[in-house]
């Protein structure tokens, strides 16, 4: 179709614009879902239905500034600070164990006035920045285990141990997966990758099995309808919410699970509420948003000639994608219960702030892509 060719030449949006639109849409939907899921809960607990939404909007505003800032930043400059940033994050992880606020038996937050800040969120970004820089500089020498595995292993390993103290096994496993993905993309020999994967699986498995509450969760995952009053309560309520949504959902705001049935309905289980209220079509729409974000993020990584930027883009995209997949998988019982939030959507200030900052870096990279010969 000769004529058709002419019409197809209408230029599509550049990647960075697609990414920006998607990121802003996700942030907006996140605010809506946080409002929706916390309204009744906040009203009863704090006497103010807007308690969480107000904070979330404030963090979103801060995150938006970070998003813009990250786009303007000179990445070569930032890269020079990758090690200091990682050390700061490690310091904050130590601080959280000393000064941290304990919520639900876990010390993960540092209080700053009325806001709380989760150092592990910073640590995740810091690790990605650090590894992108490190693996780029070690290009070609990745076969030398002493040089290319030991230094990051020590630094990241220390961070992971600190996070396990909080305890936050979910984030540790997530981070370990990111590290493995990084080394995989960076052409590490499969021999070392296998060792890393086996270590994570055995270590993670042991930690799950040896800690009673984690073992109970694992068993609940294997049998969600077992002890629905206690160990399986969380997962069974989540599944009921998802199933209750059916094809079209019960309607935005009409969900029942957020009415004190499903704990953490605005954070670790927010997707259950989305699935209940918006149904199969709505949840598929959300999944599609993350899928496109992932796809365009990876496109950015592929098309960036600079190796550091490519690794950075891939790391950020993998982090967001992996978090989304883990969160949804927990909700629909494809993975055992882990406290993992849905990026952009779940309530959580520092999470939103750093996700938006990282997204800003991704858009920054996408903005500076060389013209694509294959696309018009």
Partner 1 sequence: MEQKKRLRIIVWIFFGCFGLIFLRLAFLQIKEAPELKRKARAKNYSLISEPAPRGAIYDREGRPLAISIPYYELYAEPKYLKETPAEVARKIAPVISESPAKLIIDFSSGKGFVWLNRRLPYDEYVAIKKLAITGIGVQETFFRSFPEGKIASHIIGLVNTDGKGLEGIEKQYNHIISGQDGKVFILRDGKGNPIPSSSEGVPARPGPDIFLTIDIKVQRILEEEIEKVFKEYSARGAAGIVLDADNGEVLALTNRPTYDPNPPVTSSLDCRRNRSVTDIFEPGSVFKMVTAAAGLEERVVKPEDNIFCENGKYFVRNHTIHDTHPYGMLTFREVIAKSSNIGTVKVGFKLGAEGMYRYATAFGFGKKTGIDLPGEVSGILRPVSRWSDYSMTAIPFGQEVSATVLQCAAALGAIINGGNLYQPYLVKGVRDKRGRFVPERKPVPVRRVISQATSDTLISILTDVVSEEGTAQSAAIPGYRVGGKTGTAQKVESGRYSHNKYFASFSGFIKTPSRKLVICVMVDEPRGAYYGGVVAGPAFNRIGQRTVLALGIAPDQPVNSENENSNGVISARSKRESKH
Q: Contact positions toward partner 1, by CB under 8 A?
A: 40, 181, 184-187, 239-247, 256-257, 259-262, 275, 279-280, 283-284, 287, 290-291, 294-295, 298, 301-302, 307, 310, 314, 318, 321-322, 325, 328-329, 332-334
Q: Residue 311 Cβ, how far from partner 1 at the closest point, in Å?
A: 9
Residue among 323, 301, 318, 298 nearest 136 (CA):
301
Nearer to partner 1, 92 or 314 (CB): 314
Q: Which is nearer to partner 1, 87 or 284 (CB)?
A: 284
CA dihedral sign of residues 295, 299, 300, 306: positive
Which pair of tokens denotes residue 372?
A: 């694509």
Q: For residues 118 and 232, which CB has a smaller minimum distance to partner 1 in the complex?
A: 232
DSSP string across 94-130: HHHHHHPEEETTEEEEEEETTEEE-HHHHHHHHHHHH
> Position of tokens 């209080």?
111
Nearer to partner 1 by Cβ, of 93 and 293: the residue is: 293
Q: How far is the CB of 296 from partner 1 (least distance, A)?
A: 11
CB nearer to partner 1: pick between 116 and 228: 228
Instruction: State the nearest-atom distance from the C-beta of 240 to partner 1, in Å.
Output: 5
DSSP 8-class letter at 341: P
In whole angstroms, the minimum distance from the beta carbon of 301 to partner 1 comes to 6
Output DSSP code: residue 71: H
97 versus 325: smaller Cβ distance to partner 1: 325
Helical H segments across the chain, by residue range: 2-8, 15-46, 51-72, 75-80, 82-99, 119-137, 145-148, 150-165, 169-185, 190-210, 212-222, 233-245, 270-303, 307-331, 349-367
Closest approach of Cβ 112 to partner 1, in Å?
32
Cα–Cα nearest to 294, from 15, 13, 29, 41:
15
Measured from the CB of residue 354, what is the shortest distance to partner 1 in angstroms?
Answer: 21
For partner 1, give the closer residue by CB, 94 or 193: 193
CA angle 95, 97, 102 (to 5 degrees): 120
Q: Minimum CB separation from partner 1 for residue 371, in Å?
A: 18
Question: Can you say how many angstroms the Cα of residue 191 is from the centroid of all Cα atoms in its chain?
Answer: 28
Helix (H, G, I), strand (E, B), or coil: what is residue 137? helix
């Amino acid at each position: 179709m000769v004529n058709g060719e002419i019409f197809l030449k209408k230029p599509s949006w550049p990647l960075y614009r697609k990414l920006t639109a998607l990121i802003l849409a996700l942030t907006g939907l996140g605010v809506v879902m946080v409002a929706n899921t916390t309204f009744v809960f906040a009203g009863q607990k704090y006497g103010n239905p807007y308690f969480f939404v107000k904070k979330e909007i404030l963090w979103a505003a801060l995150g938006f500034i970070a998003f813009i800032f990250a786009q303007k930043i000179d990445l070569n400059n930032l890269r020079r600070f990758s090690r200091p940033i990682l050390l700061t994050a490690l310091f904050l992880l130590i601080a959280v164990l000393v000064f941290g606020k304990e919520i639900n038996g876990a010390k993960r937050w540092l209080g700053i006035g009325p806001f709380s800040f989760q150092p592990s969120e910073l640590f995740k970004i810091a690790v990605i920045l650090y590894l992108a820089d490190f693996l780029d500089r070690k290009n070609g020498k990745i076969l030398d285990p002493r040089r290319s595995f030991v230094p990051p292993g020590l630094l990241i390993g220390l961070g992971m141990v600190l996070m396990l103290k909080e305890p936050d096994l979910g984030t540790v496993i997530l981070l370990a997966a990111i590290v493995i993905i990084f080394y995989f993309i960076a052409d590490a020999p499969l021999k070392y990758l296998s060792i890393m994967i086996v270590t994570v699986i055995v270590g993670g498995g042991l930690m799950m099995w040896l800690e009673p509450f984690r073992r109970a969760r694992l068993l609940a995952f294997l049998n969600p309808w077992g002890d629905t009053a206690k160990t399986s309560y969380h997962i069974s309520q989540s599944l009921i919410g998802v199933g209750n949504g059916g094809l079209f959902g019960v309607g935005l705001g009409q969900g029942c699970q957020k009415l004190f049935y499903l704990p953490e309905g605005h954070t670790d289980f927010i997707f259950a509420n989305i699935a209940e209220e918006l149904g199969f079509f709505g949840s598929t729409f959300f999944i599609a948003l993350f899928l496109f974000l992932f796809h365009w993020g990876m496109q950015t990584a592929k098309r960036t000639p600079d190796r550091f930027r490519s690794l950075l883009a891939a790391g950020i995209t993998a982090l967001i994608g992996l978090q989304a997949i883990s969160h949804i998988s927990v909700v629909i019982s494809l993975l055992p219960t882990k406290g993992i939030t849905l990026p952009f959507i779940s309530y959580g200030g520092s999470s939103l702030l750093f996700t938006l900052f990282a997204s800003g870096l991704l858009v920054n990279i996408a903005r500076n892509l060389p013209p694509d010969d294959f696309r018009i």
